[in-house]
């Protein structure tokens, strides 16, 4: 019988993420009546806190659902079956968001991209300029594609939409970027921002939300599709913070505390910490691969090209993610076998490759409640697991991360 590894599980899977002890502690309390003034005050505080993180003064509605629920709420309130949406391809999550839209009867045109590079901003303006009849009703972007460790520039894409004066709504998925990377809903002209509790907000999974612009809210009053649970009008008819059904009070206790933690550190310092940890992770990967750069390309259909050494999946240094790093293994090596060694022997949880990346890629999540010793421990353990798994790499990636963190 194999014994369970000792110690706390080292969690470097890109979501859910580590829940700080203070947040766990805040949830360890007796239930409050969710109509009591004591609880409603907490709910209002949380609501205002999430709006500050989204950087919006417009509207916010929350759901007792994971991120998929907020995706659906966004679609159901503003689009009608048959409407056309333009999706920027970035990886597995842009593909799943597309699948959901299609299942709801929406048409999706995808701006195709190599998953290692994403869609050039100019391609958005070019496509929208051709849509003279304004058939495209929404432009959809995943700010931080968790499956590939690739970001899309949300502000630049808004400028591209404006450059051709296209009236499409702008929908952005912030699930693995919010509260870890900068996001400015109002300044960047986002109409629907989809977020979830379980990543940068350092909470349990199960609370998701949509930031909603004035324009999207107005459209929802006469538009949208058949809906009930997700119906914004019904939720707002009682109060701007209304919850459909029983309010999950403990999640609000937890979120109140995680918002306090974020505000104590300061959002800019939180983003800077993620930038430092992301850069250190990439320094380790570059070292392990000895600078290997293959001509590998990736699409929804699969991978094309030979890979000789370990390398970063994202090839555009301006678009690398500071919350998750996806790493491609050399041909003939199994990323899931590596993850199994890391988990079963060393109690380190890493993310796997999703969709066509299964077995070819592993992911290190570095978002939320993390610091330097935790990251260095994880990187050293990845190196240990690679050694055990017989994956060729240049030893010393952890030292490269130390050099990056110390500014040497």
Binding site for ligand PLP (CB under 6 A): 15, 66-68, 93, 142, 146, 173, 175-176, 196, 205
Q: Which is nearer to ligand PLP, 205 or 347 (CB)?
A: 205
Q: What's the closest the beta carbon of residue 176 comes to ligand PLP, in angstroms?
A: 4
d(CA 180, CA 191): 20
Q: What's the closest the beta carbon of residue 373 comes to ligand PLP, in angstroms?
A: 26
3 state DSSP class of 212: strand
Element at 298 (helix H, strand E)? strand 297-299
Nearest Cα to Cα of residue 370 among 383, 382, 379, 360: 379
Q: What's the closest the beta carbon of residue 122 comes to ligand PLP, in angstroms?
A: 24
Q: Which is nearer to ligand PLP, 94 or 398 (CB)?
A: 94
Q: What's the closest the beta carbon of residue 88 comes to ligand PLP, in angstroms?
A: 13
* Chain position whose Cβ is nearest to ligand PLP: 67
Q: Which is nearer to ligand PLP, 71 or 252 (CB)?
A: 71
Q: Which is nearer to ligand PLP, 95 or 296 (CB)?
A: 95
Determine contact, residues 305/297, Cβ cutoff 8 Å.
yes
Q: What's the closest the beta carbon of residue 82 comes to ligand PLP, in angstroms?
A: 24
Q: How far is CA 57 from the centre of its chain?
A: 22
d(CA 217, CA 80): 15
Q: What's the closest the beta carbon of residue 14 comes to ligand PLP, in angstroms?
A: 7
Q: Which is nearer to ligand PLP, 66 or 398 (CB)?
A: 66
What lies within 8 Å, CB to CB, of 54 at 6+ separation is: 60, 174, 178, 183, 185, 193, 195, 211
Q: Which is nearer to ligand PLP, 51 or 140 (CB)?
A: 140
3 state DSSP class of 262: helix
Six-digit token pair at 307? 């890979």
3 state DSSP class of 324: strand
């Amino acid at each position: 019988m194999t014994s369970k590894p000792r110690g706390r599980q080292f969690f470097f899977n890109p979501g859910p993420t580590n829940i700080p002890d203070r947040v766990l502690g805040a949830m360890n309390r007796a239930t409050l009546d969710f109509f009591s003034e004591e609880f409603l005050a907490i709910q209002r505080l949380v609501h205002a806190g999430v709006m500050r993180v989204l950087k919006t003064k417009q509207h916010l509605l929350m759901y007792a659902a994971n991120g998929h629920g907020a995706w659906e709420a966004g679609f159901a309130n503003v689009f009608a079956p048959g409407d056309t949406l333009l999706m920027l391809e970035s990886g597995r999550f842009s593909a799943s968001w597309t699948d959901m839209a299609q299942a709801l009867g929406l048409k999706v045109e995808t701006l195709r991209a190599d998953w290692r590079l994403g869609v050039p901003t100019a391609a958005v303006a070019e496509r929208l300029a051709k849509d003279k009849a304004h058939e495209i009703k929404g432009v959809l972007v995943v700010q931080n594609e968790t499956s590939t460790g690739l970001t899309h520039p949300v502000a630049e894409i808004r400028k591209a939409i404006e450059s051709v004066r296209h009236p499409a709504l702008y929908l952005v998925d912030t699930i693995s970027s919010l509260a870890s990377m900068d996001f400015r809903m109002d300044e960047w002209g986002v109409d629907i921002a989809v977020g979830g509790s379980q990543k940068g907000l350092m909470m349990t999974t199960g609370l998701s939300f949509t930031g909603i612009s004035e324009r999207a809210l107005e459209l929802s009053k006469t538009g949208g599709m058949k809906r009930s649970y997700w119906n914004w009008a019904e939720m707002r008819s009682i109060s701007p913070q209304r919850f459909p059904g029983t309010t999950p009070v403990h999640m609000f206790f937890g979120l109140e505390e995680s918002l306090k933690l974020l505000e104590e550190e300061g959002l800019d310092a939180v983003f800077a910490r993620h930038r430092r940890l992301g850069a250190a992770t990439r320094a380790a990967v570059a070292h392990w691969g000895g600078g290997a750069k293959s001509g590998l390309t990736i699409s929804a259909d699969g991978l094309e090209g030979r890979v000789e050494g370990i390398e970063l999946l994202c090839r555009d240094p301006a678009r690398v993610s500071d919350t998750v790093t996806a790493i491609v293994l050399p041909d003939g090596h199994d990323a899931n076998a590596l993850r199994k060694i890391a988990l079963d022997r060393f109690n380190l949880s890493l993310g796997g490759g999703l969709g066509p990346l299964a077995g070819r890629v592993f992911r290190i999540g570095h978002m939320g409640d993390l610091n330097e010793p935790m990251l260095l421990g994880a990187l050293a353990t990845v190196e240990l697991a690679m050694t055990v798994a017989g994956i060729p790499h240049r030893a010393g990636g952890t030292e490269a991360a130390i050099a990056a963190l110390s500014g040497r």
